Chains A and B, each alone.
Chain A
Amino acid sequence: MPRHCFLPPHIHERALKAAGATTTRRGLAVDSLGVDHAIRSIRLGFGEFHRPALAFARAQRSTFGRAWWGTFAAAGPQRSIYVATGANRQRIPGDLARAEGDPAYGDKEVDEAYDGLGATFNLYSEVFQRNSIDGRGLPLVGSVHFGKKYENAFWDGQQMNFGDGDNIYNPTTQTLTPIPNAIFNRFTVSVDIMGHELTHGVTQYESNLVYIGQPGALNESLSDVFGSLVKQYMLRQTVDKADWLIGAGLMTSAVSGFPGYPVAIRSLRAPGKAYNDPALGGADPQPSKMQDYVRGFDDNFGVHINSGIPNFAFYNCAKALGGYAWERAGLIWYRACTGPFMRPMMRFQDFANLTLTTAQQIYGFGSHEADAVQTGWSAAGITV
């Protein structure tokens, strides 16, 4: 094992500070922190024993070794939640606030992120028998209080980052103060946000769907689908009882929606009806049908807009099947997007075809489930 893996984190911190001038070096330092963190978490999991850490490192060198390790490292999530540091609060991971097994930290965002990552791990582990993001027990890292008044949460290729929304974070008192006319609450407020971000990690390790145009919107849709399933599974809600919303509670009560529709960022049941407010530039722009596909340059050619189409297909498939959405519709989608026929440049039609063959494979030709997949895509204007 190369010794540099065990450099104390403050050395990396120093490298980060020194690297202020160039983005590349900063990126490298962040990369090595991620790797180092992975090894450290394994060590934490086994107390002070160093031999398992060595075994882990050796096991990671071969495919067989990784599979072997995965079989008994499946015990539970390895979470660690950090608080971002630095003048702009963009130094990540930052200061460790809560590691796996620690009691509640007392900071709402830290504890919500910890619970949300746990709920997401549970869905993947208990329903789909998947051990963490990479299927091999990868430790889950999240940083909260990222940026200043940062109205976003994102997956950076290594870890999750959550902003405070329209709140000013005071590191001394560990409290949030809303700014006047606040629109966004903290980005840990809804468990489906954690599910959404973590699923970006799953997609990265599986199909690596290109983050642009249709494959990008499909990537976004998978994050919304499994993000919503995390919430549904946690609350044990059936298709009819679930809200099918992404980011419910993320917007303050000042934001208005459509009469009869709850306010959120996106709705899988009713794409285009999640909000309607001049402060957000008008109505939710999501289409629900292929013929309304929105062409535009920004947002990587509309990845957060056109995801409404495959989202609506999934909702309708789940609705046709009834019961718990994760049991059959969720399983079909999961098997399709993690199976050997998934490709990085897939378009909606390609994925629709794949979900049908997957349903036929699991449940048989002409099965009720295969019909439901066709019904779902048909509602979204795609024929399979």
Chain B
Amino acid sequence: MTARHRHAIVTEEALRIRFTRHGGFTGIPLNVTVDTDSLSTEQIATLRRLLEDAKFFELPATAGSRGADQFQYRIAVEAGSRRHQIEVGDQSMPDSLEPLIEFLTDLGRPSRSA
């Protein structure tokens, strides 16, 4: 099996993400659930890249925040046989995670306009 072939198998595994943003000054939560079937191939490819860039499966499960009114983000990912869930705050998230959170938040926006 060539390296390229192996890569193809990994990127085709089923992906499911449950994203919740809670807390914040408004206290109004934002929930997004996406999987391989509900998104375009392009969006799934972007998500896989963002997960990889964030080294998502190596992130610690929780990171606390100080202060008040900060958003808390809970991200649960199932990718093939791998599962991982993290909970971070605005100030405790690693920089590398910010693009993933921005992408997931944007996915949550259009559904509100219905």
Task: Spell out A's residues near B (CB within 8 Å).
Answer: 20, 23, 26-27, 88, 90, 147-149, 151-158, 166, 179-181, 183-184, 187, 193, 196-197, 200, 203-204, 211, 219-220, 223, 247, 250, 265, 278-281, 285, 298-300, 303-305
Contact = CB atoms under 8 A, between A and B. Distances in A.
A279 B99 CA distance: 24
B113 interface: yes
A154 B68 CA distance: 6
Given A23-B94, A155-B69, A223-B68, A265 B26 contact: yes
Interface in B37-54: none
A304 B26 contact: yes
Given A147-B90, A300-B72, 10 more contacts: A23-B63, A149-B102, A149-B105, A152-B24, A152-B26, A154-B69, A156-B66, A278-B112, A298-B20, A299-B72
Interface residues of B, number: 34
Interface of B: 20, 22-29, 31, 63, 66-72, 90-95, 98-99, 102, 105-106, 109-110, 112-114
A140 B92 CA distance: 23
A280 B26 CA distance: 10
A interface, by DSSP: helix, strand, loop or mixed? mixed
Contacts of B68: 154-155, 197, 200, 203-204, 211, 219-220, 223
A28 to B, nearest CB: 13
Given A200-B67, A279-B112, A23 B24 contact: no
Nearest to B98: A88
A146 B66 CA distance: 17
Contacts of A88: 95, 98-99, 102
Contacts of A187: 25
Closest 10 CB pairs of A and B: A304-B27, A181-B113, A154-B69, A279-B112, A298-B22, A156-B67, A157-B66, A200-B68, A157-B67, A152-B24
A250 B26 CA distance: 10
Nearest to A162: B25
Contacts of B114: 278-279
A304 B23 contact: yes
A196 B25 contact: yes
23 contacts: A23-B63, A23-B92, A23-B93, A26-B95, A27-B91, A152-B71, A154-B71, A155-B67, A156-B67, A156-B70, A157-B67, A180-B113, A197-B25, A265-B26, A278-B112, A279-B112, A279-B114, A280-B28, A285-B27, A299-B29, A303-B23, A304-B25, A304-B27
B25 A154 contact: yes
Nearest to B94: A23
Contacts of B31: 281
Contacts of A20: 95
A207 to B, nearest CB: 13
Nearest to A86: B95
B98 A90 contact: yes
B70 A154 contact: yes
Given A90-B98, A152-B69, A299 B27 contact: yes
A181 B112 contact: yes
Contacts of A298: 20, 22-23, 29, 72
A299 B26 CA distance: 10
